[in-house]
């Protein structure tokens, strides 16, 4: 089995977004179209160490753009409905990153979007970035009409819970199963 990777564009987007947030990281060395997950892990370690905001994952998520997702982002932009975009997001997520899995399932009359990361470093900020990015893109794809009922994380809060609510625009719960 091959080593897990992420797209170079996605790793580069994190470096550029960090710079917009005032975090200066070394430029990425030229290379292949895919970045090994251990190299991407090292980028996250630098991000978390250099930033003074415990919610760096959410901050990054809210500044990422659909174009940072390569071809998957273009497909999201062409979706006619949010449901179609959600299906495409889950299907094409491995093209952007093989560091985790995304899936959704019905919960009554709502849909739950789930994410499970397969990495060992900076787990909480990365999980927050992944779900925060999905919410940010859902709002963008729906012209701002998307409203989440809530977000649930397995981990404990990294900062005041009110900050999560302010950044995500919905109730946030911790310690989810």
For residues 78-93, b (16+ Cβ closer than 10 Å) or e, as one string? Answer: ebeebeebbebbbebb
d(CA 170, CA 156): 17
d(CA 174, CA 177): 9
- Mean pLDDT value across residues 122-147: 89
The residue with greater pLDDT, 1 or 90, is 90
In CATH, what number does 5-174 get? Answer: 3.90.1520
pLDDT for the residue numbered 3: 86
Spell out the domain ranges in the chain.
Answer: 5-174
pLDDT for the residue numbered 142: 82
For the chain, where are the E strands, in sequence order? 5-7, 34-36, 100-107, 110-117, 151-153, 172-174
Least confident piece of the model among 48-52, 122-126, 166-170, 171-175: 48-52
d(CA 121, CA 126): 9
d(CA 76, CA 164): 25
Degrees to nearest 5, angle at CA 61 with 22 and 11: 75
The predicted-structure confidence for 53-95, as pLDDT tens digits, reads as follows 999 999 999 988 777 666 677 777 778 888 888 888 888 888 8
| 1 pLDDT more than 70 | no
121 close to 43: Cβ distance less than 8 angstroms: no
pLDDT for the residue numbered 168: 95
Provide the pLDDT confidence category of residue 49 given band limits of 50, 70 and 90: very high
86 close to 142: Cβ distance less than 8 angstroms: no
- CA distances to 27, 48, 69, 148 from 152, in Å: 34, 22, 23, 11
127 close to 135: Cβ distance less than 8 angstroms: no
- pTM for the predicted model, two decimal places: 0.89
């Amino acid at each position: 089995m091959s080593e897990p990777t992420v797209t170079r564009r996605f790793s580069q987007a994190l470096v550029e977004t960090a710079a917009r947030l005032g975090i200066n990281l070394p430029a990425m060395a030229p290379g292949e179209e895919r970045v090994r997950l251990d190299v991407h892990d090292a980028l996250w370690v630098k991000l978390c160490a250099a930033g003074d905001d415990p919610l760096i994952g959410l901050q990054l998520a809210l500044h990422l753009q659909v174009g940072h997702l390569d071809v998957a982002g273009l497909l999201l932009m062409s979706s006619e409905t949010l449901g179609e975009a959600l299906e495409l997001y889950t299907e094409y997520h491995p093209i952007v990153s093989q560091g985790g899995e995304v899936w959704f399932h019905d919960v009554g009359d709502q849909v739950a979007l789930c994410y499970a990361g397969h990495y060992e470093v900076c787990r909480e900020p990365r999980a927050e970035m992944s779900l925060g990015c999905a919410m940010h893109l859902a709002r963008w794809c729906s012209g701002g009409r998307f409203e989440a009922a809530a977000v649930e994380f397995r981990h404990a809060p990294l900062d005041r819970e009110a900050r999560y609510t302010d950044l995500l625009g919905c109730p946030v719960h911790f310690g989810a199963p």
